Structure 1
Amino acid sequence: MKTYLLFLVLLAQFNYGQDALSDLLKRYNKESVPYITVDQLQEKQDAMIILDSREPNEYKTSHIKNAVYVGYRDFSTENLKRLNIPKDATLVVYCSLGIRSENVAEKIQQLGYKNVFNLYGGIFEWKNKNCPVVNGLNKPTDSIHTYSKKWSKWLHNGIKVY
């Protein structure tokens, strides 16, 4: 019985370790787009174009100030081209955690943009580090759309919206 309990304790510790953000991103991402951390983005935010690759309701709930909505399901390279962003601009793409944004960032790279980054941990990590977000009316908010209840466990700071 003691051996079985020890096994359960060790298994629980192993599973808890697998819940690290780095493990999640390694599981879903190919790391085809370099990451930028929240701290790095904060330092250089004014010199970068920030692109939000979530769904419209997520963006309306909250987004990083001055982020341009490009979407995920409705992302279009034609719409991106209409923004007339210079090819040498530094672009940071984000979503909730950095998974969907990698897919969008890859498409942007294929258009010839060389300085494209994926925000590590997405808007969740941004908010978890107490960085400000604004709603669809450009007003400060603490609400973050968590995409789903499953993914909401990664948001530790702010009001979870589903």
Structure 2
Amino acid sequence: MKWTASASFCSGLLILAGCGNADNTTVGPSPAYDRLLRTMYRNTVPTVTAAALVRELRLPEAPLLLDIRTPAEFRVSHLRGARLVPYDSLATLQLAGVDRAQPVVVYCSVGVRSERMGERLHALGFQNVHNLYGGLFEWVNQGNPVYDGQQATANVHPYSALWGVWLKRGHKTYE
């Protein structure tokens, strides 16, 4: 299983959220969001795009999804089948008995916290960990579903007003 992230860049300020495609269709992160992410990621954990993850989740050997956001963020919405392993936890109890060779995808709102958790998982012996590029925001921005339990929802916890500007679809909901 080999995943890569595609990249495109836009010149200008990182805080500009509106330098995406003129027709408002999305194939990946907006150029401004992509540039912001590339300045924040350490590139210590391989990434997987939302489109590639959609394909991987259809396979019988689909990766284990770990949502490393807070319990409040998780309650608002998460990827179907994701397991909550909060960023502030040591992740050892929640992952007891999990095969360290199993493919794992970690995600948070934008991918920064999840990259750090991916580093921790590598230290715990996990061999095949990937970070969802752009996080839950990019997943939703690409039109993929999120759930609040078993029901699909349009609600997404934006983490904060500052980060919420990168969420282009969905309904921003603070618990």
- Mapped to 2, the partners of 1:18 and 1:115 lie a distance apart of 34
Letter in 2 for 1:14: G
1:40 partnered with 2:55: no
- Mapped to 2, the partners of 1:106 and 1:40 lie a distance apart of 21
- Mapped to 2, the partners of 1:120 and 1:16 lie a distance apart of 17
Instruction: Give the TM-score normalised by structure 1.
Output: 0.85
**Identity of counterpart residues, as a percentage?**
36
Contact residue 100 and residue 126 of structure 2 kept, 8 A: yes
Instruction: Give the TM-score normalised by structure 2.
Output: 0.79
- Mapped to 1, the partners of 2:138 and 2:41 lie a distance apart of 16
- Mapped to 2, the partners of 1:133 and 1:22 lie a distance apart of 22
Structure 1, unmatched stretches of 5+, are 1-12
Corresponding pairs, count = 147
Contact residue 14 and residue 35 of structure 2 kept, 8 A: no
Could you say if the C-alpha distance between residues 40 and 18 of structure 1 is closer, same or farther in structure 2, counting changes exceeding 3 Å? same
User: Which structure's residues are more often helix, by fraction?
Assistant: 1
RMSD value over aligned CA atoms?
1.6
Residue in structure 2 matched with residue 15 of structure 1 by the alignment: 13
TM superposition shift of 1:152: 0.4
TM superposition shift of 1:103: 0.6
Please state whether the residue corresponding to 2:51 is helix, strand or coil.
helix
Query: Rg: which structure is higher?
Result: 1
Please state whether the residue corresponding to 1:79 is helix, strand or coil.
coil
Residue in structure 2 matched with residue 26 of structure 1 by the alignment: 38
The one-character-per-residue Cα deviations of 1:6-26 (angstroms, maximum 9, x if unpaired) are xxxxxxx72268651222222
TM superposition shift of 1:54: 0.3
Letter in 2 for 1:30: R
Displaced runs of 4 or more, over 4 A: 16-19
- Mapped to 2, the partners of 1:161 and 1:123 lie a distance apart of 14
Q: Which moved more, 1:86-95 or 1:39-48?
A: 39-48
The one-character-per-residue Cα deviations of 1:93-135 (angstroms, maximum 9, x if unpaired) are 0000101100111000111111000000111111111111100
1:146 partnered with 2:146: no
1:77 partnered with 2:91: yes
- Mapped to 2, the partners of 1:77 and 1:66 lie a distance apart of 17
Residue in structure 1 matched with residue 100 of structure 2 by the alignment: 87
TM superposition shift of 1:34: 0.4
Structure 2, unmatched stretches of 5+, are 1-10, 18-31
- Mapped to 2, the partners of 1:24 and 1:151 lie a distance apart of 11
- Mapped to 2, the partners of 1:16 and 1:86 lie a distance apart of 39
User: For 1:52, which of 67, 85, 88 is the aligned residue?
Assistant: 67
Please state whether the residue corresponding to 1:112 is helix, strand or coil.
coil
1:121 partnered with 2:134: yes
